[in-house]
């Protein structure tokens, strides 16, 4: 009996050992999985940047599942905050920085030349002195651009506001990406026979005064993808709508929050593309210096019309635009 008891105990021990060896906790595939830490630096809080960030996170989560950990930080529109956050990410030794908006990318680039940086919601990486060329960025920064054809936005003035002669372009003086867009739009508008006036605002407190004055000098407005204005669309819209002035813009959420119309990319898709680029860097070993800047083509743009604003301004939408 004692002999049989000993055999039974030994058999039980062997069974438990085998079970332990086959358990998930001891699976070498799970033990070897790499966990990536990604710092996300978003310049400001408004729908376009928010959805771009979400698209980025969704793409990486779908690709890497539990292998990625995010540290999401918002600079609240302050460049000093962006710099502080970028330095924090470097000190935390994150594996990659996603920088959302031009000045966020600049802060990340200044903070590190070693950690890969993937940008999104940037109009022109070259003119903003972020990369050497769109084809071969040349350093540790690459990303996705939100630039869209100005010609298509100007077409909306002709289709919806045919009596327009003078166009006011409003943007933040501190945003280089907005300055680039404003100058490009001005050149295209003037080539097509419009008179153009430029209006800059330093902060949200100036919007009411500057836009109020502009309403007495122009027939309609154009607003590029600008973070300050995007965060204060209702403020500007209340002024322009009350004055009977329409605003064509360059981004969907700005249109839906109070402007008349736009041809816009999807900022979610833009961020998603940046997420796929981040995966190529983290997992596939791609070098940002050799990864071309991603651009959407015109087929990716969709027409957005704010019917509520159109009705308030008594603007009839041509059937061809529906």
Q: For 194-226, write each residue's pLDDT tens digit.
A: 999 999 999 999 999 999 999 999 999 999 999
Q: Which residues pair with 171 in a beta bridge?
A: 200
Q: Write down all domains in the chain, each with its CATH number in brackets.
A: 33-146+266-291 (3.40.50.2300), 150-264+302-321 (3.40.50.2300)
d(CA 250, CA 223): 7
Q: In whole numbers, what is the pLDDT of the chain averaged over residues? A: 92
Q: What's the sign of the alpha-carbon dihedral 210, 215, 219, 225?
A: positive
Is residue 186 pLDDT above 80, yes or no?
Answer: yes
- Torsion, Cα 277 278 279 285, to 10 degrees, reads 90
| Beta sheet of 141-145, edge-to-edge order | 68-74, 36-42, 96-100, 117-122, 141-145, 294-295
pLDDT surpassing 60 at residue 265: yes
Strand runs (DSSP E) across 83-191, as ranges? 96-100, 117-122, 141-145, 166-172
Stated as kind and residue range, the H or E segment containing 12 is helix 2-21
pLDDT band at 320 (very low <50, low <70, confident <90, very high): confident
Banded pLDDT at 2 (limits 50, 70, 90): very low
User: What is the pTM for the complete model shown?
Assistant: 0.85
DSSP one-letter code for 73: E
- Summarised one tens digit per residue, pLDDT across range 117-129 is 999 999 999 999 9
Supply the pLDDT for residue 299. Answer: 86
Looking at the chain, the whole-number percentage of residues with pLDDT higher than 90 is 86
Give me the mean pLDDT over the 70-80 stretch.
97
CB 140 within 8 A of CB 114: yes
Q: What is the pLDDT of residue 19?
A: 46
Nearest to 102, CA basis, from 202, 228, 255 = 228
What is the reported pLDDT for 321?
82
């Amino acid at each position: 009996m004692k002999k049989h008891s000993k055999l039974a105990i030994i058999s039980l021990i062997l069974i438990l050992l085998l079970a332990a060896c086959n358990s998930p906790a001891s699976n070498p595939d799970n033990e070897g999985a790499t966990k990536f830490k990604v710092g996300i630096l978003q310049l400001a809080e408004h729908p376009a940047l928010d959805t771009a960030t979400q698209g980025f996170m969704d793409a990486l989560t779908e690709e890497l599942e539990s292998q990625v950990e995010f540290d999401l930080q918002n600079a609240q529109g302050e460049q000093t905050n962006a710099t502080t956050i970028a330095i924090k990410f470097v000190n935390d030794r994150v594996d990659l920085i996603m920088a959302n908006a031009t000045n966020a990318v600049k802060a990340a680039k200044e903070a590190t030349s070693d950690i890969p940086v993937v940008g999104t919601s940037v109009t022109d990486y070259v003119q903003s002195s972020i990369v050497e060329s769109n084809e071969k960025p040349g350093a540790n920064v690459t990303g996705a651009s939100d630039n869209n054809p100005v010609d298509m936005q100007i077409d909306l003035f002709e289709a919806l506001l045919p009596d327009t002669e003078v166009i006011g372009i409003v943007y933040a003086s501190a945003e280089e990406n907005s300055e680039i867009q404003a100058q490009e739009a001005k050149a295209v508008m003037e080539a097509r026979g419009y008179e153009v006036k430029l209006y800059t605002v330093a902060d949200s407190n100036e919007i009411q005064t500057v836009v109020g004055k502009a309403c007495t000098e122009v027939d309609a407005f154009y607003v590029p993808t600008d973070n300050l204005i995007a965060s204060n669309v209702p403020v500007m819209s209340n002024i322009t709508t009350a004055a009977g002035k329409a605003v064509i813009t360059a981004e969907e959420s700005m249109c839906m929050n109070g402007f008349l119309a736009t041809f816009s990319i999807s900022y979610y898709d833009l961020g998603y593309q940046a997420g796929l680029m981040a995966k190529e860097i983290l997992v596939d070993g791609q070098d940002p210096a050799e990864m071309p800047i991603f651009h959407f083509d015109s087929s990716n743009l969709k027409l957005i019309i704010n019917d509520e604003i159109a009705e308030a301004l008594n603007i009839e939408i041509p059937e061809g635009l529906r």
